[in-house]
Amino acid sequence: MTQSTMSNTLFIGMDVHKESIAVAYVPYDHGAEVTYLGAIGTRQADIDQLVRKLQSKAKHLVFVYEAGPCGYWLYRYLSKKGHAYWVVAPSLIPKKAGGRVKTDRRDAIQLARLMRSGDLTPVYVPKLEDEAIRDLTRAREDATQDLKAAKFRLKAFLLRHDIRYTGRANWGAAHLRWLSEVVCATPAQHIVFQEYVRSVDTITERLQRLEQELQDQVASWRLNPVVEALQVLRGVPFTVAVILVAELGDLTRFDHPSQLMNDLGQWR
C-alpha cells in the first residue's frame, strides 16, 4: 500500500465464534487508540452492515481473525467482496507477559493493534476445491479411527468371555467365517456380540465408500499431477500422497525447502 492508502485504512480485528463476532478497529495512525465496536451476528447481512459502517470511516479495510473451528467462510466472503483479509495462526500471535486472561473484547483489540504494527503472520488459506479434498481425506481418517475402535471393542468383548480365535490373521476371510459361527452363552450377550460385529461391518463399508470417492474426486483435482508424481517415490501409496498434498496445498507457494519444512513442523 502507498502512504496515502495506508492513511485511509482501518485494521479490523475479529474474534470469531459460532454465533457472534467481536469486532475492534484502529486507524493506521499509530497515535490512534483501538475502538471496540462490540459483538455482531454471523449472518451475511450482519457482515454487510459492519462493512458499510466501517467504510463510512475509511475507504480501505483490512480484516484479521484467528484460524479456528469456524473455518475460512468469513475470509472467502469478505475477499470475494474485494476486502483485504488475513487469517492468522493463534500459536504465532505475540503474547504479553502476564496476559493470560482472554476475553472476546481483548482478543479483537489485540488483533487490530498487532495487525497495524505488522506483528502478525498469515496462514495459508486453501482454495475451496483443495479444502474439499482435505475434508474427504480427514473423513477417511475418521472412519479409519472409528473402525479401529469398533474392532477393539469386539475383540475386548470376546476376550472378556473367553471366546478365542485360533487362526492366524484377524479380519481375513477365515476370521470372518469364524465370527459368523460364534454363539454366546446367553441371548443378551449374543445380541451385544452381533451389534459389535454389525458396527465393524458398517464402518468398513463407510471406509470403502470414502476411499472410492477419494479416488474418483482426486482424478479430476487440479493437484492430481502432484499426487501422481509423489507415488513414484518408494513407500508413498496413493492415500499418503493425497493426504500430504491436501494438507500442504499448492507447493509452489514455498520459495525454499526450509519454508516447506517449517510448515511441516507446525503439524506436530
Among 15, 135, 6, which residue's Cα sits nearest to residue 67?
15
Residue 5 is predicted with a pLDDT of 56
pTM for the whole structure: 0.85
Whether the Cβ atoms of residue 23 and residue 108 lie closer than 8 Å to each other = yes
**Distance separating alpha carbons of residues 66 and 22, to the nearest angstrom:** 12
User: According to DSSP H, which parts of 44-186 are helical?
Assistant: 44-55, 73-80, 104-117, 128-160, 173-181
pLDDT given at position 242: 97
At 3 the pLDDT is 53
One pLDDT digit (tens) per residue for the chain, 268 residues: 555 556 689 999 999 999 999 999 999 887 889 999 999 999 999 999 999 999 999 989 999 999 999 999 999 999 999 999 999 988 888 887 665 667 999 999 999 999 999 999 888 899 999 999 999 999 999 999 999 999 999 999 999 999 999 998 999 999 999 999 999 999 999 999 999 999 999 999 999 999 999 999 999 999 999 999 999 999 999 999 999 999 988 888 888 888 777 776 655 4
In degrees rounded to 5, what are phi and psi of residue 52? -60, -40
Per-residue burial over 193-232, b if 16 or more Cβ lie within 10 Å, else e, is: beebbebbeebbebbeebbeebeebbeebebbebbeebee
Gap between the Cα atoms of 113 and 134, Å rounded: 33
CB atoms inside a 10 Å sphere around CB 37: 18
8 Å CB contact between 158 and 164: yes
Q: What's the pLDDT score for residue 254?
A: 83
C-beta of residue 141 within 8 angstroms of C-beta of residue 107? no
